[in-house]
Amino acid sequence: MAVVVPAFGKESLTRLVVEDLVRERDLARVVVVDNAGDLDPARFPTDVELVVPGSNLGWLRGTNLGMERALSSGAASVMGLNNDTRLSRSFVRGMADALAAHPLALVGPCYDDSFEHQNRYYRGHPVDFQPRSVEVSAPAIDGTCFALSSAQVRQTGLLDARRFGRRGWGAIQDYAIRVRQAGGQVLVTRRAYLAHDRGSTARASMSSYERYAASEMRIGMMRKYGRRWRNVVDTDASETDSARRVLGDMTRAVEDRLGLSETWVGRR
């Protein structure tokens, strides 16, 4: 599995998550996309690939670049992973096993952040996490970490940089819709867990990023799927309310807090 870690500064954070990953170097090819161009190669293991694009591509385009490199070199599966995370033991193995069991799925781990369906099983320190060989269907996952097979990437494509490329919010929710429309699944695995230092890298690369990221997400989803985009997710009837809550209310709370309104639509 190729693990793509986009980074902008915060070398100490990047080194910590790389340390977690290289515990499983027999399973993980680690690709760090150095958007700031300031990471010291001497501080990283020699088998970690540092990619320096020459300008700040941001989270989404940096992830796409790493995924393209992995696919071109024959990787069987890829994982996108934020650099401000810490991982449970055998994290890569857990994600890889989940994909092996569900090869046409978009898979996210358990974590300690805001999506309830990803934190309800466990929300604590990674070292105390007890994995289970269980995957749970979900309407969407958080973009903090996602994994999918190379076959799924070739079928579904890369993240949508045209609509969500500046700040990335909405890209994984859009990808979840696209995976479902192509006949795949969206799953949370209880085989792997991460702790997330939310937004630490984004705040280093841009100011007021939450306000603009939430607006970019809503505008992008509306332009792509219409004003009723929250109803687009193809789920079983039993999942409809959950899908709408995750794909809709996750932005509504941010919008209310930031004072965003529908007048943002069409300004760009």
* Region 62-69 average pLDDT: 95
Q: Considering the chain, what percentage of its residues have pLDDT values greater than 90?
A: 62
* Region 65-73 average pLDDT: 93
The two tokens of residue 161 are 């940089």
> Do 160 and 171 form a contact (C-beta atoms < 8 A)?
yes
**pLDDT at site 85:** 97
Residue 194: band (very low, low, confident or very high) from pLDDT cuts 50, 70, 90: very high
* Region 60-81 average pLDDT: 95
Structural domains for the chain: 2-264 (3.90.550.10)
> Do 163 and 223 form a contact (C-beta atoms < 8 A)?
yes
Q: What is the pLDDT of residues 232-243, one digit of tens each?
A: 644 333 333 444
